[in-house]
Structure 1
Amino acid sequence: MSDSGGLAVSDPKVVPAVALKSSLATGRSDPVALRQPETAEKSGAPLTAGELLPTGFSITPKAGEGARFQPLNPDLPSRPDYLAGQAVATNLSPDGKTLLILTSGYNRMNGSDGKRLPEESNEYVFVYDVSKGQPVKRQVIQVPNTFNGLVWHPSGLEFYVSGGVDDKVHVYQQSGGKWAEAGAIALGHTAGLGLAVKPMAAGLAVNKSGTALLVANFENDSVSVIDLKKRVKTAEVPLRPGKIDPAQSGQPGGEFPFWITIKGDDKAYVSSQRDRQVVVLDLTRAQPEVVSRIPVGGQPNKMLLNKAQDRLFVANGNSDTVSVIDTRSDKVLSEIRTTAPAALFANPENFNGSNPNSLSLSPDERTLFVTNGGTNSVAVIQLEDDGKGGQVIGLIPTGWYPNSVSLSQDGKMLYVVNGKSNAGPNPGACRDTTSIAPGAKDPCAANNQYVWQLTKAGFLSMPVPSASVLSQLSRQVAYNNNFPGTQRAHQDEAQMKFLRERIKHVIYVIKENRTYDQVLGDLDRGNGDPSLAVLPEPITPNHHALARRFVTLDNFLDSGNASNDGWNWTTAARTTDFTEKTIAVNYGGRGLSYDWEGTNRNINVGLPTQEERKAANPATPDDPDLLPGAIDVAAPESSEGEAGAGYLWDAALRAGLSVRNYGVFLDLARYSAKPGDPGYIAPSHTPYQDRIVQAYPTKPALQPITDLYFRGYDQSTADFWRFKEWEREFEGFVQDGKMPALQMVRLPHDHFGNFATAQDGVNTVETQMADNDYALGLLVDKVSKSRYKDDTLIFVIEDDAQDGPDHVDAHRSIAYVIGPYVKQDAVVSTRYTTVNMLRTIEDVLGLEPMGLNDGLSKPMTEVFGNAARPWNYTALVPEVLRTTQLPLPAKTADNCLSPARPGLAYDRPRRDAAYWETVMHGQDFREEDHLDTGQFNRALWTGLMGDGKPYPTVRDGRDLSKNREALLGASDGIG
């Protein structure tokens, strides 16, 4: 330790002791020539294997000397074992004795009747005594809603918490030795900007004299000024250029303000996440106003001033940098990358994904600590003597997705909170608020096993490491995140090179929300639980046949928790910090809009101008300053720094490959419009012939490569008709020999819904799942009988696995690889994830990885062999589908399911559309996941399994891959 309490490694003469062996540094010019993690034996140090995550990385939060990693228990009298999730902010009191921790996320719980318990469904402020270093919990305060904002008054006599969607700020003061709410200050917003958006109070800051509190209005693109003496809002400062100066109408700026930092009493800095800028406010005027805008990296979030207040440090969550700003000139002095020391990981391709999101300075201000949410670490940055820049000299491992870091006043202790944890098995798989139908009970919801309920926060406290300990911890972080080592995976390279020379086309099929056990639990091989197979072989014969014919992947995990982050993992192999901070809040019903598939505030921001947006959707508001420009706040940027260009299609287009999009990243709001409404899109079985456009892409890059006649996510439309539109274009590719290198095909009907309005009689859970199954089978059938069968691979994935139970893990799902060189009649139990599948697609097509996650992950080589095995496939028609009006072929021996065991006949739905419409009453199927998933899953179970079979609740995680015949025989299943 330094005498002043800073980290010893800030002394330049200590740096060589901290620097990692240069032999660990490696570049990556070949798309597949990347590493395996260096083993403990090779490194000569006892590295820990760690806890595996569904992202493919690992965590070791207790690796540091003296590290203490504890859950956040709010001490609920009714549920003493309950643990909170989604910790997002920490703040140390001015006297250094009290640490506050804030949660902002899901944190919802249900009672035995399935209804939400208000007293167990709040957010929390944890109050810790840190006067003696190690934290001691003193109090937990419940807050109805929050969103990241947490700040002390300079006096230390009160603190403030943003009320999030409640559009207020809560004030807390000491009372009888405890902190208690002393009132709330309303901000006065009636709505947020956009379509059906509520306000959202975010970051908070207090001026030096303690007279004014500023609030970032996340959904209103403004800052509220509060007089702390009068406890009232005195001003609203617009941040959008066109609302300040009409001459700048239509210019982007100041949107999605997240964090605020105040210099003295005169100047405030506001991070604008959408517009990659820090907005500067002059507070000396009667009406504070914007005086300048400072361009910084992607998605600026939290900011920090040094003691002299001449340096502002800004964490840029999308570009993996910290901007250092001179507050006298308001110019950026330097950008510091936060991923790793250069000697540990050179990262010459500038892969992004570290997601820096919080900062803290050592007392001597020579060391900056930055949480890297994406790599589950704290970056230790040695600052230059002149304060103009710095470099990462070490990494400290944390829990999953750290969101905030604070340093004790003496600089000896580090406090870090993280937002997530592994979920584990979820056979209950339920959440939330209401019963299945009016007057009914939902005991399933009492299990509280929805994935966001199982995702918990963590609190790491540890001594600031010495130089030698930091060196070891840095190597541990490198091991956890698969940073490059000296040894390369020659077998993987050879296999993928072999495939790349032979495979010229990839079809990437993305489906919705099913777990492994729901669909393949009754398969005669692999680790499935037949008692959880609510969608068994009679309903899903093609899913089962393809798993048998090729490879059964019984240990595949979707990286996302739900569709909001799932679609980003599935198309970009990463999430941004914006996404991580907003998804659980939105799914907990605490505000925000579904901003993760190319719309922001329900506006198609893939179209840059108001005129284009209104032409595509007449419901667009008449406001030229509403999110102008084709900028998506949630989108990842490319390694070249191009905003919003970090997706799979971007990588393929940069490589000069042809791409075709069927249903991915479309304006979903269009499908919820009714006949006669603005923006209504009439469905059609033959949209191309009828010239009825069905798709409006939300990404500029997708505009010219999207089949505009392929209908996107709409549960009223059968996947059969989506297949027929895809088939129309595919037959053209066969005829002209110009099949795209990459096709993305969305088949969403395994999500289920819209039973009353579903077309063609595909209006029950069984028929909708069978429709999805048959469409997948038809697509594989079509390819297998075409000229492209020997140079095409088909990859099939669910974007997430949230809508059902699984006895192994809430993230475990179905996944397929189909085509030549794929093993046949094989079971592969290697743990693969969404990221591994994307890495495999990239390697097959010769693409550069999109970011750190895929760039540092292995391809799925266990799935392949080097023999060009002949393959063909004939789609099976699920018998239950013959009860619909879909135009199906006559039954033949080839397209009819041959039961693998007795009792598999399932030729009619158990319930009709009216039943499903009743038990799903109140559900919102207009966009994916806008459901009460607990109600949904319970209704699904009862409707398919019957009232006599109790809903499973035991979380076991057993290996059921052995003795399958006996296990299947013992299960009464659904057949």
Structure 2
Amino acid sequence: MRPGKRLTLAFIAVLVFLSGCNGGGADTAQFLPNMNQYITPLAPQGARFETLNPGLLDKPEWLAGQAVTSVTSPDNKTLLVLTSGYNRVYTSTPTAPYPWYTPDSNEYVFIYDISSGTPVKKQVVQVPNSYNGIVFDPSGKAFYVSGGVSDNVHVFTRIADGTWGEVVAPLALGHNSSGNGLPWSANFGNGSINLQIGVKPCAAGLAISSDGKTLVVANYYNDSISIFRGGLNNWAPAAELDLRPGKSGGAAGVPGGEYPFWVAVKGTEADGTATAYVSSVRDREIVVVKLNGSPAVTARIKVVGQPNKMALNKDQSLLYVVEDQSDSVDVIRTGDNAVVGTIPVIAPASVLPASLTGLRGANPNSVTISPDERRLLVTNGNLNSVAVVELSDTRTSGEVAGLIPTGWYPNSVSVSADGSWLYVVNGKSATGPNADFRYSYGPPSRPNGFQTNHYNPQLTKAGLQSLPLPAAAQLQTLTGQVISNNRFSYADGARDREVMSVLQANVKHVIFIIKENRTYDQILGDLAVGNGDPALAEFGERYTPNQHAAARTFVTLDNFYDTAEVSNDGWAWTTSGRAPDVVERQYAVAYAGRGLSLDTEGTNRSVNVAYGTLAERKAANPLTPDDDDLLPGQTDVAAPDGPGNEVNKGYLWDAALRRGLTVRNYGFFLDTTRYNIPLAAGGIPLLKDPAAVATQVAYPSSAALAPCTDIYYRGFDNSFPDYYRFKEWEREFDTYETSGTLPALSLVRLMHDHTGNFATAIDGVNTPEIQQADNDYAVGLLLEKLSKSPKYKDNTLVFIIEDDSQDGGDHVDSHRSIAFVAGAYVKQGALVSSHYNTVNFLRTIEEVLGLTPMNLNDALARPMTDCFTTTPAPWSFTAKPAAILYGTTLPPFAGLAPLGKKAQAPKPTHDAQYWAKATRGMDFSSEDKFDFARYNRILWKGLMGEKPYPAAPNGKDLRRNRRELLSRYKLAMN
């Protein structure tokens, strides 16, 4: 379709209806409950979809996840697909030096023959680590893979039997296991805690000159590029160039060149024109480097979004840069390094509703040029589609002609030599029961083996979609399918508008509580109503009486899903309704222990970028190095942009502040690195009432939240009970009760349901059950406090959510989780089985406060109106401590028995010493800085004994016959 031919939303709807909602059969659609999306990769005519099975001899059913990059050989007969993600192959019989996984726990390159169009898998090779980078040698006789945290480049060549093999040692990059961040690590507790604050290197994108004589590697965590010269079988390190202005001849303390991700090379050193273009994700620029002689930065091309992958046209006169956040492709003329065009890539302009104007969130992450150079193919990760961009005659402008549906989160697209076939790789798959939709799964897993783990990064599997390039007429139908899959035509119904109108008029305050890492069945599986499996209730009512009471008193949400996979993307999704592509790219790698840091709460590589100067950073954290060029400025690489491309302003509190509302922050986005280090090294003591001694314990890691933050509210710290967090919140709430100035939006972090730090936890709150009960009691106390407030109980709503659900089994879906809503306008005693997720949750808060949408996701989400009534009702709440808390020395329970003088507090299944030993070496200093799949197993065994670990979700509806089901459960527990 040429740019002049336009689609309309109404026409698209007709096409979708006539096509049965897909181009290849209605049975190909699969719902993603945590995303409110459908995926239909089999919709294009002639499409195929296959999982990535590396054919492991000992685990033949195991499938790889997180496919990130695809490339074709110079003769276009071979397709390579690279994974960079979790990909740990677990075993129930661990052997040294692999304590919980097998030697096959590597990343993979899948090698396909595409000479006849349809891909035929020929071979799979392995590398220990990788991070997106893969490129063919121009000769076709070799390909190169960046080694990620291994800090090297692997060289694969044809060997005697015609297969590909690694016959020479990888090219070492020589960064001595160190990246640019806080350079600090230590062991505490006689080695029981290994705290790693500093970061390691990470080799990312790489490119090779057209003559095969110059190879350039982006050092993602060293803010540099490495250059090799010589060519195939003769590579030698030539130079490394730091891309930061202060390290490359410019002014110190000026942002530039950080987080270099992708590389394109123009020209050759032989003709004196060799030039590298490097995408700097954090600083939103393309760094231009002269490669001849001594490498030097010659230009910095500023772009609006976060530059991702790039592609040069054949004569190398134009560079196409795909950019997340701005949802666009910039066209750079390499003759003068000018941006000569910007192409939006969300969808054809004619099918975007006016309500979505200016909103972003498509997560475009790769761009490929068709062989005839008349179109671009762009993967929109968050919209599960490929945007087909028809270019103008000058090739410097264009528009989206149509969209092709893909699997979940496409990361790369390749094209056959004649442009007739497309090959799209995606990173994720659904994690619920899958009886009728096999393409995103492999064979059923063996019962009770590690293959049945409920850990999201393990469950999300990659895929390869191959399809003939759709003709113009089919592209129109497929565009309609993508629009339908992503609910672009969504509008609130009349009742939704009525309910939200009443709430806006009467509710003046929202208290937003975020907790950590629990599934529905783990907590509410034993509830008397709802679709819970009591057999999976690790932390049932005996430990969480207040959450059970909240569900019974107000609404039981038994069909609620956390959008995120883990805490790293969970905090992004839960506070902003999206995770930028840089987060989607990093989290699975980080959680597999393959390097990279957890950047989504305001610290980048453990550096607190909320502070703009080195002096401010050192005052907040004495571990900060004396280096003006260490991530200067206040740009947060992982933060979402706000509407209109407002950099880093895409969070809920930004929306509230734009609206002119007041915000108060208790524990969100704090620098917690000092909580787990000795006092002599700058640690912060475990003060139970820091306000009483005027000691700051909270250092904001968000510039926007800094003025709103309670500096006496301790952030994420498993050694510190949530009870004291509640008491600090209560201290301020009492002042608001007196002054009548409760903020419109209160952000409250109650995190102890994460559990951990068993050797250092205070007041006897030192086992998983006790920490869970502590968290539950804090939630109950907050609800009780509000219920007794004459000023605020009737004009305040409390929203409680988990940031993710990665830490346990669930019989419906690994993303299903708990959520609670409380207040005068909430229904009472109701079971609400409406399908909701994190984004619906955020949309509801926005609607209550009268905020505008932050991005595409929340703009298209239905508010949770089934939870509310338009007439306020009296309500009360009395916090009830779990009996196990009476064995602690927390102030309410010290020296008391739960049921009378002779009664004894229940004993935990194991003491703190057991748990400290079982988790020896795990870093609990922040969410999930260790192997959480292993931790899941440790928790289950310690709490549930020899009971078999949960099998894969079965999807059964357990809402009926609850009394009988619970009776069997209680009998089994006695």
- Deviation by residue 1:275-311 (Cα, 9 ceiling, x = unmatched): 0000001122x11110000011222010011112111
Given candidates 690, 694, 697, the residue that maps to 2:693 is 690
| Offset from partner CA, 1:302-348 (integer Å, 9 cap, x none) | 00111121111101012111111111110111221111111111455
Q: Does 1:604 align with 2:602?
A: no
Matched, 1:60 2:68: no
From 633, 636, 648, the equivalent of 2:637 is 633
Question: Hey, what does 1:136 align to over in structure 2?
Answer: 120
1:460 and 2:460 are equivalent in the alignment: no
Which one-letter code corresponds to 1:462 in the other structure? Answer: L
Which one is further off, 220-229 or 43-52? 43-52
Are 2:708 and 1:705 equivalent residues in the alignment? Answer: yes
1:974 Cα deviation from its structure 2 partner: 4.7
Are positions 1:382 and 2:390 aligned together?
A: yes
Deviation at 1:683, TM superposition (A): 2.0
When the two chains are superposed, the root-mean-square deviation of aligned CA atoms in Å is: 2.2
Identify the residue that residue 313 of structure 2 maps to in structure 1: 306
Matched with 2:771 is 768
Tell me the residue number matched to 1:170.
154
Post-superposition offset of 1:392? 1.1
Q: What CA distance in whole angstroms lies between the structure 2 residues aligned with 1:667 and 1:292?
A: 34
Following superposition, the deviation at residue 363 of structure 1 comes to: 2.1
Q: Evaluate the alpha carbon distance shift between residue 165 and residue 68 of structure 1 in structure 2; reply closer, same or farther with a 3 A threshold.
A: same
CA distance in 1: counterparts of 2:499 and 2:16, whole angstroms: 26
Deviation of the 1:695 alpha carbon? 0.5
- Contact 1:945-1:974 within 8 A present in 2 as well: no
Q: Which residue of 1 aligns with 2:733?
A: 730
In structure 1, the residue matched to 2:53 is 73
Q: Which residue of 2 aligns with 1:225?
A: 227
Paired residue type of 2:400: V
Give how far 1:776 is off.
0.1
**Cα distance change on mapping 1:228 and 1:858 into 2, 3 Å:** farther
Partner-residue secondary structure (3-state), 1:370: strand
Question: 2:263·2:276 contact (CA, 8 Å) conserved in 1?
Answer: yes
Q: 1:42 to 1:110 in 2, by over 3 A?
A: closer
Residues of 1 paired with 2:899 and 2:667: CA distance? Answer: 29
Residue 912 (structure 1) shift: 2.0
Verify the 8 A CA contact 1:359 1:406 in the aligned structure 2. no
User: Match for residue 46 of structure 1?
Assistant: 21
1:416 offset after TM fit, Å?
0.5
Amino acid at match of 2:307: P
Shift of 1:51: 2.3
CA contact under 8 A between 2:425 and 2:465: conserved in structure 1?
yes
The one-letter code of the counterpart of 1:600 is N
- 1:408 aligned residue (404, 416, 419): 416
Higher relative contact order (CA 8 A, sep 6+): 1
Aligned partner (choices 152, 167, 192) of residue 182 of structure 1:
167
1:222 maps to a residue whose letter is S
Alignment of 1:211-610 (within 5 A): 211-229=213-231, 230-245=234-249, 248-265=251-268, 266-284=274-292, 286-346=293-353, 349-424=357-432, 445=450, 447-484=452-489, 488-610=492-614
* TM-score (norm. length: structure 2): 0.92
Look up the match of 1:194.
181
Mapping 1:30-41, distance limit 5 Å: none
The one-letter code sitting in structure 2 at the alignment partner of 1:913 is A
State the one-letter code of the partner of 1:78: D
CA–CA separation in structure 2 for the residues paired with 1:600 and 1:732: 35
Whole-Å Cα distance in 1 between the matches of residues 812 and 689 of structure 2?
42
Q: Which deviations, in whole Å up to 9, do the C-alpha atoms of 1:405-453 show, x marking residues without a partner? A: 1111101011100001112269xxxxxxxxxxxxxxx986464442211
Paired with 1:507 and 1:349, the residues of 2 have a C-alpha distance of 30
The whole-number CA distance in structure 1 between the counterparts of 2:904 and 2:659 is 49
- Conserved in 2, the CA contact under 8 Å of 1:98 and 1:131? yes
The CA distance in 1 between the partners of 2:15 and 2:890, in whole Å, is 58
Aligned length: 923
Deviation of the 1:849 alpha carbon: 1.1
Matching of residue 89 in structure 1 with residue 69 in structure 2: yes
Give the conservation status (yes or no) of the 8 Å contact 1:595–1:602. Answer: yes
Q: CA deviation at 1:45?
A: 5.7
Q: Does 1:149 align with 2:97?
A: no
Determine whether 1:655 maps to 2:641. no
The corresponding residue for 1:435 is none
SS in 1 for 2:645: coil
Change in 2 beyond 3 A, CA 1:381/1:41: closer
- The aligned counterpart of 1:112 is 92
Looking at structure 2, the residues matched to 955 and 796 of structure 1 have their Cα atoms a distance apart, in angstroms, of 25
SS of match in other structure, 1:640: helix
Aligned match of 2:911: 912
Q: Is the 8 A contact 2:886 2:898 kept in 1?
A: no
SS at match of 2:800: strand
Q: How far is 1:675 from its partner?
A: 2.1
Give, as a single letter, the amino acid of the residue that structure 2 aligns with 1:961. Answer: R
Matched residue SS, 2:772: helix
Q: Which amino acid aligns with 2:787?
A: S
- Mapped to 1, the partners of 2:723 and 2:913 lie a distance apart of 22
Does the aligned pair in 1 maintain the 2:885–2:905 contact within 8 Å? no
Partners of 1:421 and 1:357 in 2: how far apart?
Answer: 18
Confirm or deny: 8 A CA contact 1:513 1:751 kept in the other structure.
yes
Q: How many angstroms apart in 1 are the aligned matches of 2:284 and 2:68?
A: 21
Give the corresponding residue for 1:100: 80
Structure 2 match to 1:829 = 833
Q: Hey, what's the Cα distance between the residues in 1 that align with 2:73 and 2:712? A: 58
Asked if structure 2 preserves the Cα contact closer than 8 Å seen for 1:125 and 1:140, the reply is yes
| Aligned residue number for residue 210 of structure 1 | 212
The CA distance in 2 between the partners of 1:973 and 1:340, in whole Å, is 55
In structure 1, what residue type is equivalent to 2:704?
A
Give the C-alpha shift of residue 117 in structure 1.
3.9
Q: Which amino acid aligns with 1:586?
A: A
Query: Deviations 1:499-520 (Å, cap 9, x if unpaired)?
Result: 1111111111000111111111
Q: Are the equivalent residues in 1 in contact too, given 2:601–2:669 (CA < 8 A)?
A: yes
Q: CA deviation at 1:955?
A: 3.8
Q: Deviations over 1:824-845 (max 9, x none)?
A: 1111111211011001101111
Report the Cα offset of residue 937 of structure 1: 2.3
Q: What residue is the counterpart of 2:888 in the other structure? A: 884
CA distance in 1, matches of 2:260, 2:752: 37
Contact 2:75-2:140 within 8 A present in 1 as well? yes
8 Å CA contact retained: 1:879, 1:908: no
Q: What residue is the counterpart of 1:933 in the other structure?
A: 932
Shift of 1:910: 2.9
- Secondary structure, counterpart of 1:343 in structure 2: helix
Q: What's the counterpart of residue 30 of structure 1? A: none
Amino acid in structure 2 at the alignment position of 1:919 = A
Q: How many Å apart are 1:41 and its aligned residue? A: 8.4
Contact 1:533 1:973 in 2 (8 A): no
Deviation per CA, 1:474-532: give whole Å up to 9, x if none: 111111111026x6522222221121111111111000111111111110010111111
Q: Distance in 1 between matches of 2:167 and 2:736?
A: 68
Normalised TM-score (structure 1): 0.92
C-alpha spacing 1:368/1:934, structure 2 compared with 1 (3 Å): closer
Alignment of 1:116-127 (within 5 A): 116-127=100-111
Residues 671-692 of structure 1: CA distance to partner in whole angstroms, max 9, x if unpaired?
A: 11222112x1112121111111
- SS in structure 2 opposite 1:248? coil
